[in-house]
Amino acid sequence: DAGVIQSPRHEVTEMGQEVTLRCKPISGHDYLFWYRQTMMRGLELLIYFNNNVPIDDSGMPEDRFSAKMPNASFSTLKIQPSEPRDSAVYFCASSTATGELFFGEGSRLTVL
């Protein structure tokens, strides 16, 4: 079975540009999570969805960040405009209602 698929794996962009990260959860999983990992803050939850509906977005750092899940097999995390402090590894994860979490390989973002 395919795991959680994220793209791109690496993104280098300049400050002010729009960044879109993509995620395909495991088929049949009805929860989808976006995490950000930095050296300073560790792994922090940004937002999670249940059945494509955002449930908790309290971790989204500011209005420059937005996330959507238009259907059960696709989600995006967008940063507009990007800033150097957004540089991090962004992980997508999915789970069933029983809760075991599976991660994608992450998208490493560098904003110059």
Partner 1 sequence: GIQVEQSPPDLILQEGANSTLRCNFSDSVNNLQWFHQNPWGQLINLFYIPSGTKQNGRLSATTVATERYSLLYISSSQTTDSGVYFCAVTPGQNFVFGPGTRLSVLP
Binding residues (CB under 8 A) for partner 1: these are 31, 33, 35, 42-45, 48, 50, 55-56, 89, 91, 95, 99-103, 105-106, 108
Q: Cβ of residue 100: shortest distance to partner 1, in angstroms?
A: 4
Cis previous bond, 8, omega within 30: yes
d(CA 67, CA 28): 20
Q: Cβ of residue 66: shortest distance to partner 1, in angstroms?
A: 18
- Identify which of residues 42 and 70 has a Cβ nearer to partner 1 in the complex: 42
Q: Cβ of residue 87: shortest distance to partner 1, in angstroms?
A: 14
C-beta separation of 93 from 30 below 8 A: no
Phi, psi of 99 (to 5 degrees): 105, -10
- Identify which of residues 39 and 62 has a Cβ nearer to partner 1 in the complex: 39
Q: Cβ of residue 93: shortest distance to partner 1, in angstroms?
A: 8
Burial class (CB in 10 A: 0-12, 13-18, 19+), 33: buried
- Identify which of residues 45 and 72 has a Cβ nearer to partner 1 in the complex: 45
Among the listed residues 82, 89, 87, the one whose alpha carbon sits nearest the alpha carbon of residue 103 = 89
- Identify which of residues 65 and 91 has a Cβ nearer to partner 1 in the complex: 91
